[in-house]
Amino acid sequence: MKLKENFYFCNNCKKIVDDPESLYFVESVIPRGFCSEICIKEFYGPIVDYYEKCEDDLRKKYKCETENLSDFISDPSFLEKLFAEPDEIWRNQNSLGEEVFSFISKFDGEMDGTFYLASLCLVFENKPSFIFLVTATKEVSLLNEFRIGKELENLEEFLKNDGGESGSDGQISSEVFETIESKKSAFLASLLEQRSSKDIPYEDFYCYDIFMEDTLEGPDEVYTERDRDGDDLFTYIKAHEKDGKSFYYFVICMNIGPSIEEAGDTILPILGFPSQDGDTYNSYRKGKLISGNLKS
């Protein structure tokens, strides 16, 4: 046996792997890798408990223990706004460089008045990657406790910049960006409306983000159709397995036309999501089936 120059291990179960690509990462600054979703949950589980205890103590301090707004937390559309279009993001870094982020959003409910959602989470490639805590409150003094560290100044810029992996990000015009955002909202709304309650819960979608790249690079099926705005959409579908369960991952993409750098058209992902439901699978297999890899 020879000692390896490069070797990696799961930070939870210590399983040894040859390739960092087979590990999952949820933090940007400290490269802690994990072999599975289960190991991520086990590793951070005690921190989740710690933050829940903190919330209980703070609610006692501000006399809002009985405030029960949990309906707002279970509503995917509120969570989508909190994580995709927050009003505030705060970054708190300790002296070791470890980061925890606070996402905060204000909502004006017609019946319910103004309330806030606040979350403590980890962020990887500028997107929430592991959620420690989400709470809903109308109590501003409790909300203020979530404002820790430094508030980020340019949220749109931060959320748009996902580490620059896809390469063409820098060249998208704000017009295209807006089109994509509005299509994304429409797709997400119809997806959430039609999907079965037994399917993978919306709040777990972020755990499946890692399957997007693989789905785009080696799809089982790709469908294309032109939408009402005259844009060419592509649906990439691939069967995957995670923690012993199989599911489909879908990526809806849009052709935004030729790019400056490349000769062919640029196809950008709009929305990626997992599903274990056969009905959802069938409903997204529409348009013209085309084979092969279309990633430009």
Contacts to Zn ion by CB under 5 A: 10, 12-13, 15, 35, 39
What is the secondary structure of 127-183 as a DSSP string?
A: EEEEEEEEEEES-HHHHHTT--SEE-S-HHHHHH-S-STTS-GGG--HHHHHHHHHH
Q: How far out from the chain centre does Cα 195 lie?
A: 18
Please name the helix (run of DSSP H) or strand (run of DSSP E) that holds residue 115, with its range, or none. strand 113-124
Instruction: Please identify, using beta-carbon distances, which residue of 7 and 161 lies nearer to Zn ion.
Output: 7
Q: Per the structure block, which two tokens stand in for 89? A: 């993001």
Instruction: Judge whether 186 and 253 are in contact, CB under 8 Å.
Output: no
Neighbours of 90 (CB within 10 A): 19
Distance of closest approach, residue 275 Cβ to Zn ion, in angstroms: 26
Instruction: Please identify, using beta-carbon distances, which residue of 43 and 177 lies nearer to Zn ion.
Output: 43
Distance of closest approach, residue 32 Cβ to Zn ion, in angstroms: 11
Neighbours of 84 (CB within 10 A): 16
Instruction: Please identify, using beta-carbon distances, which residue of 13 and 16 lies nearer to Zn ion.
Output: 13
Instruction: Please identify, using beta-carbon distances, which residue of 45 and 257 lies nearer to Zn ion.
Output: 45
Order of all β-strands in the sheet with 265-275: 265-275, 245-258, 232-242, 221-226, 288-290
Instruction: Please identify, using beta-carbon distances, which residue of 10 and 142 lies nearer to Zn ion.
Output: 10
Distance of closest approach, residue 40 Cβ to Zn ion, in angstroms: 8
Distance of closest approach, residue 17 Cβ to Zn ion, in angstroms: 9
Distance of closest approach, residue 210 Cβ to Zn ion, in angstroms: 15
Instruction: Please identify, using beta-carbon distances, which residue of 35 and 58 lies nearer to Zn ion.
Output: 35
Helix then strand then coil, in percent of the chain rounded to 5, is 35, 30, 35
Distance of closest approach, residue 13 Cβ to Zn ion, in angstroms: 3
Instruction: Please identify, using beta-carbon distances, which residue of 2 and 245 lies nearer to Zn ion.
Output: 245
Instruction: Please identify, using beta-carbon distances, which residue of 17 and 152 lies nearer to Zn ion.
Output: 17
Instruction: Judge whether 158 and 164 are in contact, CB under 8 Å.
Output: no
Distance of closest approach, residue 16 Cβ to Zn ion, in angstroms: 10
* Residues 179/212/25/75 CA torsion (nearest 10 deg): 60
Distance of closest approach, residue 8 Cβ to Zn ion, in angstroms: 11
* Residues 138/144/147/151 CA torsion (nearest 10 deg): 90
Give dist(CA 268, CA 271) in Å, integer: 9
